Amino acid sequence: MSATTTQMGITHMRREIEEIPEATARLLDGSAAVLTEAGRGIRERDPHFVITVARGSSDHAATFMKYAVELTAGLAVASVGPSIASIYGAKLRLGGSACLAISQSGKSPDIVAMAQAARAGGSLTVAITNTADSPLARASDYSIDILAGPERSVAATKTFVNSAVAGLALMAHCTGDDKLLAALARLPDHFRKAIACDWMALAEALETPKSLFILGRGPSAAIANEAALKFKETCAMHAEAYSAAEVMHGPLALVGPGFPVLALAARDASEPSVAEAADSLAAKGATVFVTSNKAKSAARLPHVATGHPLTDPLALIASFYGFVEAFARHRGLDPDAPPNLRKVTETT
């Protein structure tokens, strides 16, 4: 265990999870002007499509934004691999597009190179970063400081949440969506309740298995990807994220008695299908937990309904973060110090 964990009785990760409500409120207040300006800039550019550039947890935030942009603005969104610019030196024709580049540190060379290439290729570039004066911020037309504050734990939590919230606020300003803006303003209170949700009922089901599935659909599919990464990072446990639709194809071959499944259902149009998939897997003997009251046989986990389909998945990841930090400690691991990892990885 780290000195912080043993001497103070709390991990950096837990402290940063508890900071999520305050960090979100700080972002919505402190970066309101640039979010408004960048949203207006995208609206005036009137792009035909959007690209995203990111890695790791930031890429999961970008995937969340893919669904959000497609659902709110009706624009197709594609993820562009940073190596297209940094390694292959390819030049993309991106006239008439907007580019969202997401990076906590804002200094990974491949992310910066792709943002620069996107701008040179005709894209309007927006950096979403926790480091205001970073190479990525300087390389972009607009730079949004997510104002999450220092994050010492290797596993990103509040920076992931604030990146996703910044993306939602950006699109709300772009599309003039007052309902989404109001839902974002309520998020800090919802996050406090979500962090307090007790998901430790999952722990017993995960004692013996070496792997689990995490399911989502639509925006919550991005949340499932983030949750699977956190299991690997903090609990030394393999987890695979799937769409609740896709899991019913090839991956179903791995499901047997006692196989653990976590289904992350948000209060949106996908909830009935996620609950149905959870019940179907439970009928095959899997040990299934789901964040929906629509499920009949899968075990239900407590969850916070935010009143908006795009903010609801973010409350789920706040609840999950609280669980996975506690589960890592339950397994005798220090979630602040995963083996082989460091906080900032600069890839080329």
Kindly indicate whether the domain formed by 12-176 is annotated with CATH number 3.90.1300.10.
no
- Joined together, the tokens standing for residue 177 give 């969506």
CATH of span 198-331: 3.40.50.10490
Q: Walk along the chain (348 residues) and give the pLDDT tens digit of each residue.
A: 343 443 347 999 999 999 999 999 999 999 999 999 999 999 999 999 999 999 999 999 999 999 999 999 999 999 999 999 989 999 999 999 999 999 999 999 999 999 999 999 999 999 999 999 999 999 999 999 999 999 999 899 999 999 999 999 999 999 999 999 999 999 999 999 999 999 999 999 998 888 999 999 999 999 999 999 999 999 989 999 999 888 877 776 677 898 999 999 999 999 999 999 999 999 999 999 999 999 999 999 999 999 999 999 999 999 999 999 999 999 999 999 876 555 555 565
Q: What pLDDT was estimated at residue 208?
A: 85
Q: What pLDDT was estimated at residue 15?
A: 97
SS3 assignment for the chain: CCHHHHHHCCCHHHHHHHCHHHHHHHHHHHCHHHHHHHHHHHHHHCCCEEEEECCHHHHHHHHHHHHHHHHHCCCEEEECCCHHHHCCCCCCCCCCEEEEEEECCCCCHHHHHHHHHHHHCCCEEEEEECCCCCHHHHCCCEEEECCCCCCCCCCCCHHHHHHHHHHHHHHHHHHCCHHHHHHHHHHHHHHHHHHCCCCCHHHHHCCCCCEEEEEECCHHHHHHHHHHHHHHHHHCCEEEEEECCHHHCHHHHHCCCCCEEEECCCCCCCHHHHHHHHHHHHHCCCEEEECCCCCCCCEECCCCCCCCCCCHHHHHHHHHHHHHHHHHHHCCCCCCCCCCCCCCCCCC
Q: What pLDDT was estimated at residue 347?
A: 63
| The model's pTM | 0.94
Q: What pLDDT was estimated at residue 348?
A: 59
Domain ranges in the chain with CATH number 3.40.50.10490: 12-176, 198-331
Q: What pLDDT was estimated at residue 345?
A: 55
- Strand partners of residue 52: 79, 100
